Structure 1
């Protein structure tokens, strides 16, 4: 199929299509929207992306992206050093922070254990987590990992390793969300909710 735009535009579309949730058609629509509003969107976006690429680093403690190292959360002395929340990626960390309910520190694994994909403990930040648990005054590690096969496999592996380090390991409760209706929930969520039931 012949190209309908110049190579610069096709490159923009190709790069946009690599973003999560963006296919070729969505990328083409996004590129057209950016080009249509060049001064309001395209130019500021390009500047913001260049600045981000230049200034953002991964925190040497928790691996969260920030413009400083250690990051703002790891540097915050008001946060509880004895409490670490383990997440798969930075997006989960940001979700936890939006809630405002967690006042400890974080550890970003950078992935999950997966035998099918050949991802072992050395490919994610397991060693760094165990090192933090052994070296500091950590009393509890909260596993906030996805309720998937890989997430549960990773949680089980970490639980064993952290228990050997003498640290209490907890995980987020799973089950019926606030405002959720049973007929809209999947079977796995209902099973988890039944297992985690408590006195009314």
Structure 2
């Protein structure tokens, strides 16, 4: 391997910590930063610094926000009887893009994964349960990815929530729009069949 100047190597190391970014991609990103003007590089550094220092978790839903409450929790237009539980803040963005969901959210910041040493106590589970005591919430939607960890987390939360008399639902799993039956795996086909609706 050829010589790389220390500051450049440090930059490559930092970029390669991002998920899905290998050494090659990190090197490309580092050289892109070097090709920026001083003003653009300073703006990038400032944006990173601001995101890190000014954003924190919403007191209620645990999504990232600048204020004490995020815009969704503080909105009078949201349906307060429904909470959609998601793994990450990125999932909130995905639901908001549909413009079809008008309830509130709760961000767990991870999933239960004993293999990775992640238990319920490392997620924002107690904050979720604290929200359910008022009697205002009528339904909690489990909106985790259909993985082993997602299923385990949904089942764990459902066991805690059901005794409170609150309806617990999960997202329907099935065929993607534009998908082909021929290439669909058995589990997805089974779920699509069992979750069928009347036309």
1:122 aligned onto 2:102 = no
Alpha-carbon separation, structure 1, partners of 2:170 and 2:154 = 8
TM-score by length of 1: 0.92
Tell me which residue corresponds to 1:82: 81
Which structure 2 residues correspond to residues 166-177 of structure 1 after superposition, within 5 A? Answer: 166-177=165-176
How many Å apart are 1:136 and its aligned residue? 4.6
Q: What runs of 5+ residues in structure 1 fail to find an aligned partner?
A: none
How many Å apart are 1:39 and its aligned residue? 4.7
For the residue of structure 2 that corresponds to 1:164, the secondary structure is: helix
For the residue of structure 1 that corresponds to 2:182, the secondary structure is: helix
Alpha-carbon separation, structure 1, partners of 2:156 and 2:112 = 9
Tell me which residue corresponds to 1:144: 143
Alpha-carbon separation, structure 2, partners of 1:106 and 1:46 = 31
For the residue of structure 2 that corresponds to 1:135, the secondary structure is: coil
How many Å apart are 1:104 and its aligned residue? 0.8
TM-score by length of 2: 0.93
Runs of 4+ in 1 over 4 A off after TM superposition: none
Tell me which residue corresponds to 2:93: 94
For the residue of structure 2 that corresponds to 1:170, the secondary structure is: strand
How many pairs are equivalent? Answer: 199
1:185 aligned onto 2:184 = yes
